């Protein structure tokens, strides 16, 4: 018997709890809690009376910390190098971090990203409360992170807006996290949503933003990892979702880089995997995003040593945006991928790097003198 498609409500419950076998498998690397050990409000970090550093603020949804909400803690964390330790809970709020909060660190106290969830449900087409229009894609983000030197570990960033919540609208983008700063690192984090889940971007066209995602999980349907950052996805899991609103043989796209033409590095996916809830071949691996604000963009994506599941269309894994700009003119390439979605049936449809070319498509080459992988394991 075929597996039934998730209903809108079951999908919302999944976004909030992550309680599916598929997602549980992706978190095998997360430390397991001993069943007999009582959970402390701040896990290994003790309590507000036993601070990590003088700059540490503790967030607890029921008042056992310094603040009950993440945004309140961010607002109070003036200066640089501040740390937020966030206790287990679901924080239903939008969070915006200004660019002057450089060197900020967020830690999920239990060291399990399923326990700390920051979630809201704005979409691009959601009307603003003040009547000034709709939020737009960027404004839909549950969490927006602008500063350089930002670090997050063991946290879930989610947007649980569903298309059924706003029927008939074209503004179905609903971002879970928008990150813009240079030297931004996310380890053992989850990014949950549908369209435009993870927006890995920069603060401006002429600003290069290096970002590192390790042991992370991201899910969605339409272009759910996108933007112009120089981003390395190392040992991550990407999962494509079913589309109950569609019957077509194409549900969506995993990546949509919009790399600035002057930037020599775009997205690098390495030692990762892509799985799918959707039928076989219903997803494209990528399409290039050349935004109207930067028609000189040359999107760049390299996927190497990654397992591509059957949900990826192996015959034609790339396609174009409606606005044109053929993917063949962009910087898309693969190297030594495996799995049914990586089978080369039409060589011209999936450019392959040579061994010599692949030597310049590594996390070291993309991130330069910044080495987050040396400490974020």
For 321-361, what is each residue's pLDDT tens digit? 987 899 999 999 999 999 999 999 999 999 999 999 999 99
pLDDT band at 27 (very low <50, low <70, confident <90, very high): very low
Does the pLDDT at position 38 exceed 50? no
- Percent of the chain residues topping a pLDDT of 90: 78
For the ranges 51-60, 65-74, 112-121, 124-133, the lowest mean pLDDT is seen at 51-60
3-state secondary structure (DSSP) of residue 348? helix
pLDDT of amino acid 93: 98
pTM: 0.91
pLDDT of amino acid 245: 87
- Percent of the chain residues topping a pLDDT of 70: 87
Does the pLDDT at position 297 exceed 60? yes
Overall average pLDDT of the 285-303 stretch: 95
Cα–Cα distance for residue pair 224/240, rounded to 1 Å = 9
Neighbour count for residue 313 (Cβ, 10 Å): 20
On whether the CB atoms of residues 145 and 157 are closer than 8 A, the answer is: no
Cα–Cα distance for residue pair 298/266, rounded to 1 Å = 9
Cα–Cα distance for residue pair 309/339, rounded to 1 Å = 6
Helices of type H across the chain: 8-17, 21-26, 70-76, 136-139, 355-358, 363-367
pLDDT of amino acid 52: 66
Measured in residues, the chain has a length of: 377
3-state secondary structure 155-224: CEEEECCCHHHCCCCCCCCCCCEEECCCCEEEECCEEECCCCCEEECCCCCCCCCEEEEECCEEEECCCC
pLDDT band at 374 (very low <50, low <70, confident <90, very high): confident
Overall average pLDDT of the 138-166 stretch: 95
Cα–Cα distance for residue pair 198/255, rounded to 1 Å = 10
Tell me which residue of 240, 270, 239 sits closest to 27, measured CA to CA: 239
Instruction: Give residues with Cβ within 8 angstroms of 37, minimum separation 6.
Output: none
On whether the CB atoms of residues 86 and 115 are closer than 8 A, the answer is: no
Q: What is the pLDDT of residues 184-225, one digit of tens each?
A: 999 999 999 999 999 999 999 989 999 999 999 999 999 999
pLDDT band at 16 (very low <50, low <70, confident <90, very high): low
Does the pLDDT at position 26 exceed 80? no
Cα–Cα distance for residue pair 17/10, rounded to 1 Å = 10
Mean residue pLDDT across the chain: 89
Cα–Cα distance for residue pair 336/342, rounded to 1 Å = 9
Expressed in angstroms, the distance from the first to the final Cα of the chain is 40
Q: What is the pLDDT of residues 57-112, one digit of tens each?
A: 999 999 999 999 999 999 999 989 999 999 999 999 999 999 999 999 999 999 99
Kindly tell me the sign of the dihedral angle through the C-alpha atoms of 10, 88, 217, 327: positive
Place of tokens 């209903």: 7
Structure tokens at 57: 């603020």
Does the pLDDT at position 377 exceed 90? no
């Amino acid at each position: 018997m075929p597996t039934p498609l998730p209903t809108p409500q079951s999908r919302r419950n999944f976004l909030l709890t992550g309680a599916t076998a598929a997602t549980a498998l992706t978190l095998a690397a997360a430390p397991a809690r001993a069943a007999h050990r009582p959970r402390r409000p701040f896990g290994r970090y003790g309590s507000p009376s036993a601070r990590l550093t003088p700059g540490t603020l503790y967030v607890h949804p029921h008042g056992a910390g310094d603040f009950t909400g993440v945004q309140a803690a961010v607002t109070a964390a003036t200066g640089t190098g501040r740390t937020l330790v966030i206790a287990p809970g679901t924080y239903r709020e939008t969070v915006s971090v200004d660019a002057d909060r450089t060197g900020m660190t967020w830690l999920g106290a239990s060291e399990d990203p399923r326990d700390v969830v920051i979630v809201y449900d704005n979409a691009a087409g959601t009307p603003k409360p003040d009547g000034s229009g709709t939020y737009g894609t960027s404004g839909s983000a549950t969490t927006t992170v602008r500063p350089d030197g930002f670090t997050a570990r063991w946290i879930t960033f989610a947007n649980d807006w569903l298309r059924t919540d706003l029927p008939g609208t074209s503004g179905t983008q609903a971002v879970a996290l928008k990150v813009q700063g240079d030297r931004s690192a996310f380890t053992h984090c989850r990014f949950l949503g549908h369209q435009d889940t993870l927006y890995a971007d920069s603060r401006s066209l002429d600003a290069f933003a290096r970002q590192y995602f390790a042991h992370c999980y991201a899910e969605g349907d339409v272009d759910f990892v996108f933007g112009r950052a120089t981003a390395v996805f190392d040992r991550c899991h990407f999962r494509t979702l079913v589309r109950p609103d569609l019957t077509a043989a194409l549900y969506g796209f995993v990546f949509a880089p919009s790399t600035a033409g002057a930037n020599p590095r775009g997205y690098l996916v390495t030692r990762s995997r892509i799985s799918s809830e959707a039928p076989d071949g219903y997803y494209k691996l990528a399409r290039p995003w050349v935004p109207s604000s930067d028609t000189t963009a040359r999107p760049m994506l390299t996927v190497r040593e990654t397992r591509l599941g059957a949900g990826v269309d192996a015959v034609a894994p790339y396609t174009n945006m409606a606005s044109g700009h053929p993917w063949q003119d962009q910087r898309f390439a693969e190297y030594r991928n495996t799995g049914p979605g990586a089978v080369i049936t039409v060589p011209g449809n999936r450019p392959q790097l040579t061994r010599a070319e692949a030597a310049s498509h590594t996390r070291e080459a993309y991130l330069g003198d910044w080495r987050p992988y040396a400490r974020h394991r």
